[in-house]
Structure formats: structure tokens, C-alpha cells
Amino acid sequence: MASGGWHMEKRSTLKSDSLADKGEDSESSLECGSLSIIVLGASGDLAKKKTFPALFNLYRQGFLPPSEVHIFGYARSKMTDDDLKDRIRGYLVPSKNATPETSEDVSNFLHLIQYVSGSYDSEEGFQLLDKEISKYEYEQNRQEGISRRLFYLALPPSVYPSVCRMIKLHCMTKSGNVGWTRVVVEKPFGKDLESAEQLSSQIGELFDESQIYRIDHYLGKELVQNMLVMRFANRFFLPLWNRDNIDNVQIVFREDFGTEGRGGYFDQYGIIRDIIQNHLLQVLCLVAMEKPVSLTPEYIRDEKVKVLQAVNPIKDEEVVLGQYEGYRDDPTVPKTSNTPTFATVVLRIHNERWEGVPFILKAGKALNSRKAEIRVQFKDVPGDIFKCKKQGRNEFVMRLQPSESIYMKLTVKQPGLEMSTVQSELDLSYKQRYQEVVIPEAYERLILDTIRGDQQHFVRRDELKAAWEIFTPLLHRIDKGQLKSLPYKPGTRGPVEADALLEKAGYVQTHGYIWVPPSL
């Protein structure tokens, strides 16, 4: 390797890392034995756009070797194996990236897929599904007790209880202690504390907590996973990460498009339920948590729960809601809808580390840009001997998407003969630094974690309950019309009142400085 260079293997070179190669004798290892992955809701958008492409990428990297894995699609639609394969084929590899090699990989992957049709509350359908799974397991000549079954529920939460009941009655692994059955459930997991607890109870009566994987795909994002490493593996962050040095923290999710045909679905939830209560709150936990005793899933999730339990009740004066103009033009959206498509919420954590530091969660649709980031703003430098306070504060920023990056905003001397200062940055752009690396999609990582039995990046029941306890009172006030959504024009920053709230919370906006991701 040349001096100063960087080398990392491409993902396509990882194919030797098969399930059988792991050989680790632990609960989190990739055990040998037949693995059946069952995608329920196989005909839906989530399955074809996210689940099957993630499985294909794992297959290409050698994590789902054909000698050990078979994939079953299950849905109500009446279609054949070939119909399902034709439906998902175009989503596995973008046409611009298609090559003879990828075409062959697609063809080989599709050979692993089988389709079973049935309803989600039908014993006959799930008995047929179990029969097909058992047939595959028998054909693999596996000893009874080492078959593994992973059920991925790419379905609306309303059918979770009936589907889980059918799985429990008819489709569990026919084994003793070696094999396993695991269930992956997608958000939204309830609409408030009561509905979430009811859903948790219904599923909890059927499966142990160790068998349930509540997926939040934000926890699988590369930069979100990097947060623990940045915080706890770098000496210079450890003494600074507290209320003595940090003035405020922003966690932002912005989209430059509206609901686009999903208005009727979105109107049932709104931006707080859809984004803030789960994705952004999970990121907040990683930013604010104390150092875990170890990196085991239970220690990390224990610390996250402690953060959530320390959050003070949300005050109405620290909330700004918005709805973009034109949202109610969608015929599936009620003309009197108060559902927010934008929200800025200030949370305050009542503990020794964070007392007095506002955590600002902001999410919105139809805004002027698309990005998701964590922005930690430090307090002013005492004394200000260089008279540069007006230029802005130091900030540490993790850009989650797009253009994954980490940068620190600093004040430096402007080159020249004068002693003048300017804002600049120290930055790590992933596209520039890791040119040979394709960052894995969040769903790939989380499905692989499920196979390994690693629940670190999944939401535990008490964590889910604590999250809903924070937001349920606010959501009920919004549902009752006690808090109104303010109109804003598409393509803007959102309601101007939101910027006023940021200023009131202590955030100092830098004017004249814009960070631009480095280009290759």
C-alpha cells in the first residue's frame, strides 16, 4: 500500500464469509443448519423495494449461501413462483448497474425463492406454508433440531396479532434447543402508549422477547452505528460530551418531497409518529446515553432506556407543528386534517450529564432540502480574544444521509498577513475516503443481525414503552386539535416559528458558511 493511501476490500470479495465459515459457538453466531426466511407480505411495496433487495445483497456477499438458505414469500395474492420473481427482479439491481455477473447472481438468487398463497388469519394457508418449509428442511437432510426459521412481517401492524398466532400454532421450528424461530416486525408499532402496549402484550403472549425483533431501520445506518465508536473510542470526546461544554443538540430529518400518493396512509400517523417518535428518538438515545459496561446488546439497550426515562414531559411552548400547503389537496386526506407534516420538538433530559441542554428533534416533508444529520453545537469560547464570536460556534456534525460524512466546524486563521479568522471544517467524507467501499443498506445489516441473534440494534419492549410515554400526551393533544399545524410553503425551511423556537432554545445559526461535501 502506498504511503498515505487507503485500501479496503470491496463487498464483492466477501463471498467466502458464509454461514458455515463462522464457526463461533455462541448465541450470536451464524449457526450451521437449514435457514428458512419467510417474507410475509411478499407482494407488497416494502418487500419488493427493501426486504428482497436486502436479502439479495446478503446473498451476493456470501451470508446466505444456497446450500443452507431458502426464501419463502407469503401473501394473499394469487400468483405463482415465477410471478413473484418477475415482480421483484427489477428491484434487485438498478438497471444502470446491471452486468452479466449481476444478472447471473439475480438468476441464481431467484432460484432460492418459493411462493405460498394464503390469508393472514387462515390455518390452511399457514399449514401449507409449514408443509413447504418442512419439505425444504427434510430435503436438506438436516438433523431435526438445527433448522432455523426467520419470519419477516412486511405487513401493517393491524395483522401482526393474527399472523403471529398462526406462526405460533402452525409454523414453529420442529426442534428442541438447537433450532430457533424469530419474528421481525416493522414500525409503526402502535399509535400511542395504549395501542403499543396492547400490541406488545398480544405478541408477547406468543413469543419470548428474545424471539421478537422490532426493526427500526435507522439503527442499521452506517453513521448511526458509528456514533458509539465516535463517542467512546476517541479520548478527546469523552471530557467534552456533557452540559458543561455542549449548548444544544439537533437531530434533523428533512425531505424535499411530500406524501406523493401516500397521503391517506400518512394522515393516520403524521410526522411525529412516522419519524420523530422512533427514528430520531433512537438516535437521541445513542447521542445521550452513558458509556455501557460492555458492548453486549442488553447493556446498550439498558442505557438507552435510562435516557428515555429521564426525559421531561414535553411543553406545548417547545413544539412547532406545520403542514405544507397542498397536502390536503390529496383526495385521500380529509379537508380538515390537522396532521402535521413538519414538527420541531424540544426534549430535555433530567440527569447529571444533560440537565439544561435542549435536544431539538426536527422532521418535515416538502422542505427545501433532503438530509438527515446529528448536529452537536458547543458553547461559546470564553473570552473571545480573537473577536470571532459572531462567526459561529464549534459544531460536530454527523451527516446520516445523503453523502455520509462526519465533520467538525472550527474557527481558524484566514491565510494571509492579517490576524483574521474564518470558519472552516475538518471533515471525513465517506465517498472520498472509502472510494472502494459500498456502504451496506440498513436492512441488510439488521436482517443479518437477526440471523445472528444480535438484538443490539432492535427496540426492546420497555424501550418502546418509554418512547411512547414521552410522546403520547403530546400526540393526544394534537389529535384533539389543541395544538394546530401551521401552514408553510413547499420548498421552504418550514414554518418561520420553528426557526424562532431554535433561537429560543439557544441554537446559534451560522450565516455565510455552508459546508459542501467534497467531490471525487
Q: What residues are labeled active site?
A: 279
Helix and strand totals (H; E) in the chain = 17, 15
b/e 297-323 (16+ beta carbons within 10 angstroms → b):
beebbbbbbbbbbbbeebeeebbbbbb
Helices (H), 242-354: 263-266, 270-271, 281-288, 297-309
From CA 244, how far away is CA 242, in angstroms rounded?
Answer: 5
From CA 186, how far away is CA 140, in angstroms rounded?
Answer: 30
Omega cis (within 30) before 331: no
Q: Provide the 8-state DSSP code for 73.
A: E
Written as one string, the DSSP assignment of 463-485 is: HHHHHHHHHHHHHHHHHTTSSPP
| Type of residue numbered 113 | I
Residues 141, 143, 146, 149, CA torsion sign: positive
**Selection from 217, 355, 207, 356 nearest residue 278 by Cα:** 217
Residues 461, 467, 469, 471, CA torsion sign: negative
215 phi and psi angles, rounded to 5 deg: -90, 130
**Selection from 363, 377, 371, 379 nearest residue 516 by Cα:** 371
From CA 137, how far away is CA 131, in angstroms rounded?
Answer: 10
From CA 240, how far away is CA 228, in angstroms rounded?
Answer: 15
Q: With beta carbons less than 8 A apart as the criterion, state whether 433 and 407 touch.
A: no
**Selection from 54, 59, 67, 152 nearest residue 104 by Cα:** 59
Measured between alpha carbons, how far is residue 502 from residues 88, 275, 323, 343 in Å?
44, 19, 18, 12
Contacts for 88 with CB less than 8 Å, ≥ 6 apart: 47, 48, 52, 53, 113
From CA 104, how far away is CA 389, in angstroms rounded?
Answer: 59
163 phi and psi angles, rounded to 5 deg: -65, -45
Reduced to 3 states (helix: H, G, I; strand: E, B; else coil), residue 32 is: coil
Q: With beta carbons less than 8 A apart as the criterion, state whether 183 and 168 touch.
A: no
Cβ count near 330 (within 10 Å): 18
